[in-house]
A and B are shown apart, each in its own frame.
Chain A
Amino acid sequence: MIHSLFLVNPSGDIFLEKHWKSVVSRSVCDYFLEAREKALDPEDVPPVISTPHHYLISIYRDKLFFLSVIQTEVPPLFVIEFLHRVAEMIQDYFGECSETVIKDNVVMVYELLEEMLDNGFPLATESNVLKEMIRPPTILRSVVNTLTGSSNVGDKLPTGQLSTIPWRRAGVKYTNNEAYFDVVEEIDAILDRTGTTVFAEIQGVVEACVKLSGMPDLTLSFMNPRLLDDVSFHPCVRYKRWESERVLSFIPPDGNFTLMTYHVNAQNLVAIPVYVKHSINFFESGSGGRLDLTVGPKQTMGKTVEGVLVTVHMPKTVLSVSLNATQGSYTYDNATKVLVWDIGKLNPQKLPNLRGSLSLQTGAPKPEENPSLNIDLKIQQLAISGLKVNRLDMFGEKYKPFKGVKYITKAGKFQVRM
């Protein structure tokens, strides 16, 4: 099982180590650091590295490497999933996951890690269980603690730990009972030069914020559940009900959680909300070139497209750009060769345009690689797949909760080839 964990910052310093079995010397990280040196980007470090006596499985998240050491055959996905949980836990407790935050709370992080694994076996990874064992820091609590000498460590067995619903603690009480659901859809797409869709799919997620007293039993149904190709549920969802009736029936965890993720694969269902007219030319002489980009709305179901951001990865030899944007502003980073054009809201009457000249390094040949263009966007109050929540019912409790559903569509990995 998981032997040790090292946290490594981008410059290669190990700033935290935790061992769940015998102590493994940190020199084992050298193999990892070597691979890190070799990789062009930190993202490119292979997640599984073998060394003569150990295996190193790592993730790169929030500009930090979470590096685990294992010695026997352990499912790598198990380890990777766990490492992501660690990152999420830190985020959840301290509001962000960064080296500074971890160093500022090193003892608590260490205590938390000890609660999460025992002998390398996951022990408590559910946020609400952990929070009962070790309370998250708040300013008020730390003041009280200094005055009274009490501590952040709970001395009672968390109630959720052993019940068949480990995700919910007993005795939850709110004065305002509310349940909000966000349906968030991300479009992953590749469009080719002519604007034809090479590949498109929708990754959807239903995020929930449930603050309900007692033990509510909720049922959420959709208008059109058949849309969904593949679903993954939070463990609280009763799978059998979904199989037979296509409704989500569950006793929710307390607070924020991801109720389900889904997938819409069928190409004809994936609407592409924007189009890009682009032309990039380099002069045969090799001294420069011209760029012309126009973005316009396509299938937006009558909604406004906002937060549009175009990112172009320029060929390496492009030295500087001199462009003119009719809307928004642009920046060009010469070190990374990335052109970012922040457009904002799309106005169908007056399409934003960016054009101008590119200058190349002197003497450099005409670039041979094709630049690629990524788009970010946001559409409020729309799930692009057309998914709609029908109703939410609550059983098991008597009060009347506030309910609400929000929809939002975003671009995921939305790529246009030029």
Chain B
Amino acid sequence: MTDSKYFTTTKKGEIFELKAELNSDKKEKKKEAVKKVIASMTVGKDVSALFPDVVNCMQTDNLELKKLVYLYLMNYAKSQPDMAIMAVNTFVKDCEDPNPLIRALAVRTMGCIRVDKITEYLCEPLRKCLKDEDPYVRKTAAVCVAKLHDINAQLVEDQGFLDTLKDLISDSNPMVVANAVAALSEIAESHPNSNLLDLNPQSINKLLTALNECTEWGQIFILDCLANYAPRDDRESQSICERVTPRLSHANSAVVLSAVKVLMKFMEMLPKDLDYYGTLLKKLAPPLVTLLSAEPELQYVALRNINLIVQKRPEILKHEMKVFFVKYNDPIYVKLEKLDIMIRLASQANIAQVLAELKEYATEVDVDFVRKAVRAIGRCAIKVEQSAERCVSTLLDLIQTKVNYVVQEAIVVIKDIFRKYPNKYESVIATLCENLDSLDEPEARAAMIWIVGEYAERIDNADELLESFLEGFHDESTQVQLQLLTAIVKLFLKKPTETQELVQQVLSLATQDSDNPDLRDRGYIYWRLLSTDPVAAKEVVLAEKPLISEETDLIEPTLLEELICHIGTLASVYHKPPSAFVEGSRGVMHKRLPARTGSGESTESPDVGTIAGGSGTETAPSIIPSQGDLLGDLLNLDLAPPTTTGPPPPTSGMQMGGMDLLGGGLDSLLGGDIGGSAAMGAGFGAVPAVMPASLNAPMGGGLGDLFDLGGGVGMPLGAYIPPKTVWLPAMKAKGLEISGTFARRAGVIQMELTLTNKAMSVMTDFAIQFNRNSFGLAPAGPLQVLSPLSPNQTIEVSLPLSTVGPVMKMEPLNNLQVAVKNNIDVFYFSCQYPISMLFVEDGKMERQVFLATWKDIPNENESQFQIKDCHLNSDAASNKLQASNIFTIAKRTVEGQDMLYMSIKLSNGIWVLAELRVQTGNPNYTDLEISVKCRAPEVSQCVFQCCEAVLKN
């Protein structure tokens, strides 16, 4: 008697019959009927019509029947919300049952019923269950909070369930802790900034204790949660590593990989000369190797992760090459991954072994695998110079096999080898030419044509070979056509006498008979080059090519860092940052590896540490999320007609220089008036002399008068400049990292930027543009990045700013939205400038005027602030403030208090008056009080912040 009987149907109709049975008086019959219903449900049949009849069976003492009804309810409650209410009473009653199993079952099932009306009734029972005396009930209730949050997040927050859940992290039972962590992690995923898992040394300690005692699944949750913690120093980091290491011996591979993630991340903080660092490296290898003897699916995920680990820390697995050797009966997806890792681990020491293996693979049955193996041989040649010769001879051996796809792959990779080691292996060209006819794949044909063109002078019948390709020109793919065009032009430049006819033929084929714009344009360019200046043509076409880089498919360092923090996740399988693909992860926090705190490694920027762990520093720059509006604004700016008639006013000229953000204005500027402004020239990267990088000179008339007026002050030294902060992290900007600050130097506002290229390719063509902002800040010149920025290079740039740009009030007032363009893309970010930048040098008010103005400004415009813990006497404060153009007009001493009266003038002419009270009598009382009065009270807050910053630095 098996369950398959539940699937038999009768003539009357299944539903009808089931209904009768469900309403039967006999318990046993009822149960059988519910079983039949469930059986139909599991295979996807719709049995929702039986809802009322099934729910009627719910009130029973028979636990099995109860469970079965619950199973049904969970599946169908959503489609019958009104009827589902009928079940509520039973749930609420069950939550009070003396048997913990029943209590847990009720709260668990209720959470699965995704009906709004029911969730309201759920709150009270859930609250009780979260505090239940039985840990089994508590752990079930913890998960229920996550379920409820999924249905109605607001309700969960309002009811305070999140706090209760946080308390459960300190529960005495490790299983409860693990479930609380799991629930919080899931909730946190939809609230990236909620700081739900507030990790501190105490909670970490609790988690580490629970880690040893909870189930394997709980260990995974806890380890993944630990990985988000940012240890304070290397010592803490080491102690966490020590406590996590035993997890590497767990039988569950997910536990092992999560432990690897924690170790890989925290290791980053350990000084490399530490003994423990070496020990840890050694400990990581065996578990990774063991993962490879598991089931193929597990192997696959492990291999994708090992691929990352090998790139980050090749030393861990460098002696383990052999475990990546491909076995005959590995599934194809495992084979391909293993091959990839073999190449990454290939070095001079093991290259002989690797090559022998690869050659073996090249004779296997699976075509995809064979192709990849042949490519791998080429990659080895490029990676390990000493092996190049052996690789080439291996490839020649393979070409001798005459297996069509092997030959083609071999030719493609030999082309790359030629590019890496020019003038070394050209002797093999003859062999390659023998196989010309067998090439039928575009990539191989294109590679062969490239070889013939590049070495035309060494191939006697190069013209015949190329001509033979030309016959079917129109049937070729674009790749081959383009290559053929270039190759024939090369040939012509090398042997002009015999090949004139050929080149004309190809040019006319490309330009007249083709409708492919790429091909046509390339054809025209060659044609024009050849017809105007053959010598120049030769220089262009036969120019020396840059060598190709060692490894082409490495993951960019910033992405790699992020992926290392995501070991074991889907992101690590896809090698993409989670933000790129996970649905429903709203604004995922980017994770970064922590900085090493020990000495000796000063290359990493000090800012990294504060951002690590994503625990939210206040100064974190806000990246402008939706580009739509902003882009519109920036585009508008660009389209503003440049004043090109007559000698333009100097200020507008300067603005235009910085205006070519989207390149749109270039043509009109180019074609237009050359006398516009010399600054424009710099905009095209041509005349750097106009804008020296350290801009101490006045930029033009517009700023000149400001400068003059600053005369009375006497060059103040040490005006406050905030430290640089990262405005645009590299991962948001395809590898470009921008950090910066603002300074006012000799009356000129400067934006000081540090650009770092963390990508793999060179960056050029930098330009900058601001959105409209509160004080009309605009670049007074172009961004001076004169030489291309090569990978890992950092450059410091000062950008002078003017205050005559378009004005729009921002929130907060000192917010500035910036767009930076380079050859890769346009990036947007926003930053806040200290308002002190805008304090002009002629901000000293006459005493009388001050008094009159102070009275004149209504009292409601006055704001009071306190600056805590400032150990300055009034003179020191006055001097400090003066350096930032906050001028003291008068000083009074009343009852042990120094009162300083100060005035500030903003660049847009707004005056701000302030009164600063300093306690002189009482050395313990170190708070300063400041009152700010201004006709535009919005600026008061900014002014205060800036005074505070100035005084405290």
Contacts and interface: CB of A to CB of B under 8 A. Distances in A.
Query: Is chain B found bound to chain A in the same assembly?
Result: yes
Interface of A: 1, 14-23, 26, 39-41, 43-44, 46-48, 50, 53, 55, 58-61, 71-78, 80-81, 84, 103-108, 110-111, 114, 118-119, 121-122, 125-126, 142, 149, 151-157, 161-162, 164, 166, 188, 190, 192, 198-199, 201, 203, 229-235, 239-240, 242-243, 258, 260-261, 263, 265, 267, 313, 315-316, 368-370, 372, 374, 413, 415, 417
Nearest to B146: A119
B413 interface: no
B289 A77 contact: no
A313 B328 contact: yes
A276 B322 CA distance: 22
B112 A119 contact: yes
Interface string B584-613: 110000000000000000000000000000
A107 B39 contact: yes
Nearest to A80: B297
B312 interface: no
B569 A46 contact: no
Contacts of A162: 135-136, 139, 173, 175
B357 A105 contact: no
Contacts of A81: 252-254, 298
B412 interface: no
Contact of B246 (A48, A155, A243): A243
Question: Which of B75, B78, B134, B365 has the most C-beta atoms of chain A within 10 angstroms of its own C-beta?
Answer: B365
Question: Which of A71, A118, A166 has the most C-beta atoms of chain B within 10 angstroms of its own C-beta?
Answer: A118
6 contacts: A17-B44, A18-B42, A48-B300, A118-B143, A125-B217, A242-B249
B357 A77 contact: no
Contacts of A16: 42-43
B108 to A, nearest CB: 6
B293 interface: yes
Contacts of B7: 103
A66 B456 CA distance: 58
Question: Which of A23, A59, A107, A239 has the most C-beta atoms of chain B within 10 angstroms of its own C-beta?
Answer: A107
Given A110-B38, A118-B143, A153-B67, A73 B569 contact: yes
Contacts of A48: 300-301, 570, 573
Nearest to B305: A77
B582 interface: yes
Nearest to A415: B328
Complex A-B, nearest 5 residue pairs according to Cβ-Cβ distance, in ascending order: A230-B286, A104-B2, A151-B64, A77-B254, A153-B64
Contacts of B112: 20-21, 119
B349 interface: no
A369 B44 CA distance: 47
Contact of A73 (B136, B253, B293, B585): B585
Question: Which of B99, B136, B301, B574 has the most C-beta atoms of chain A within 10 angstroms of its own C-beta?
Answer: B301
Contact of B147 (A55, A104, A119): A119
B568 A77 contact: yes
A172 to B, nearest CB: 20
Nearest to B36: A107
- Interface class of chain B by DSSP: helix
Interface string B57-71: 000001111011001
Contacts of A413: 327-329
Given A107-B39, A118-B140, A239 B249 contact: yes
A230 B248 CA distance: 9
Given A73-B189, A111-B67, A229-B289, 11 more contacts: A1-B186, A16-B42, A17-B42, A21-B112, A75-B258, A119-B143, A121-B179, A125-B215, A232-B256, A235-B215, A413-B329
B23 to A, nearest CB: 18
Contact of A229 (B186, B286, B570): B286
B346 to A, nearest CB: 16
B253 A77 contact: yes
Nearest to B297: A47
Contact of B28 (A149, A199, A231): A149
B454 interface: no
Contacts of B821: none
B66 to A, nearest CB: 9
B706 to A, nearest CB: 53
B216 to A, nearest CB: 6
B62 A151 contact: yes
A263 B286 contact: yes
B2 A316 contact: no
Contacts of A114: 67, 71
A76 B217 contact: no
A154 B67 CA distance: 11
Interface in B563-581: 568-571, 573-574, 578, 581
Interface string B608-636: 00000000000000000000000000000
Contact of B401 (A111, A190, A368): A368
A331 B44 CA distance: 43
B101 interface: yes
A43 B301 CA distance: 15
A229 B4 CA distance: 48
Nearest to A100: B4
B325 A199 contact: yes
A233 B3 contact: no
A106 B39 contact: yes
Nearest to A237: B249
A203 B183 CA distance: 37
Contacts of A125: 215-217
Given A80-B301, A313-B328, A149 B100 contact: no
A219 B571 CA distance: 42
B726 interface: no
B252 A106 contact: no
Given A17-B43, A80-B301, A263 B108 contact: no
Contacts of B301: 47-48, 76-77, 80
B820 to A, nearest CB: 31
A212 B2 CA distance: 33
A192 B173 CA distance: 55
Contacts of B43: 14-17, 106
B290 A232 contact: yes
Contacts of B63: 151, 153-155
A240 B295 CA distance: 28
A73 to B, nearest CB: 5
A174 B778 CA distance: 86
B564 to A, nearest CB: 15
Nearest to B578: A73
A22 B78 CA distance: 9
A75 B220 contact: yes
B365 A75 contact: no
Contact of A230 (B144, B287, B297): B287
A234 B255 CA distance: 12
Contacts of A74: 569-570
Question: Which of B217, B289, B568 has the most C-beta atoms of chain A within 10 angstroms of its own C-beta?
Answer: B217
B522 interface: no
A74 B578 CA distance: 11
Nearest to A111: B67
Contacts of B182: 1, 121
A44 B333 contact: yes
A50 B332 contact: no
A157 B68 CA distance: 18
Contacts of A121: 143, 179, 182-183, 217
A234 B578 contact: no
Given A17-B42, A313-B328, A235 B250 contact: yes
Given A17-B44, A26-B44, A81-B254, A111 B570 contact: no
A106 B570 contact: no
B57 to A, nearest CB: 14
Contacts of B582: 72-73
A78 B298 contact: no
B550 interface: no
Contacts of B365: 313, 315-316, 369
A188 B292 CA distance: 12
Interface in B381-409: 401, 403
